[in-house]
Amino acid sequence: MIAIITGDIINSQKSDSELWLPKLKGLLQSWSTTPENWEIYRGDEFQLKCSVDEVFHKALLIKSLLRSFENLDVRVAIGIGNEVFLSEKITESNGSAYLNSGRLLTDIKSQGKTFAIQTENEKVNQDLNILFKWAAIDFDNWTVATAEIIHQLLRNSELTQDELAKELNITQSSVSQRLKRANFELLQETDLYFRKKITEL
């Protein structure tokens, strides 16, 4: 069983791709190799293969990275299932994980959603998608400044608030306020719940 993230950048035409595209490529490259495990295509769509237990965390890293750029956001469709054909390019590989993810992206785009999951288990889908609807109320409204802090902490959970403040040239109290507004602790709890729930598959 594998996880596939299929996503598309919202408002990509309103932002200079020379700013965000290298950052997105760098993040994906830090996880695995292209084009067999990830690929960016059509300028503002991408696909990533990863392990099931890490997929929510990685989706949040992508979300926080892109929201740290003015006007940008991303739709994320997580598909979980099998892989029946492995190609040298991820966009040519096949299996239920790929189909679940690709079809889901089309669905959430038409529904105006930005984050959802599709597995072979309808009960797990229902439980996690309700959770994601609540979570999206927060992360769909992250400011650029908040997304930047969330991204740094998701990449390195060992960072202290003082270290973050120095890195971003703001006060420690500003870091604390932004984390509270973003409900960061709840986000961490959601990730833990996801990892537990996904074992039911």
CATH number at residue 166: 3.30.70.270
Token pair in block for residue 156: 């390195």
Nearest CA to 145 out of 181, 114, 113 is that of 181
Q: What tens-digit pLDDT sequence spans the chain (201 residues)?
A: 999 999 999 999 888 899 999 999 999 999 999 999 999 999 899 999 999 999 999 999 999 999 999 999 999 999 999 999 999 999 999 999 999 999 999 999 999 999 999 999 999 999 999 999 999 988 999 999 999 999 999 999 888 989 988 988 999 998 898 888 888 888 999 999 999 999 988
Number of domains present in the structure of the chain = 1
Token pair in block for residue 22: 């290298």
pTM metric for this prediction: 0.94
**Looking at this protein, which amino acid is placed at residue 99?**
L
Segments forming the whole domain that contains residue 137: 2-199
Is the sign of the CA dihedral 49, 57, 121, 76 positive or negative? negative
200, 121 in Cβ contact below 8 A?
yes
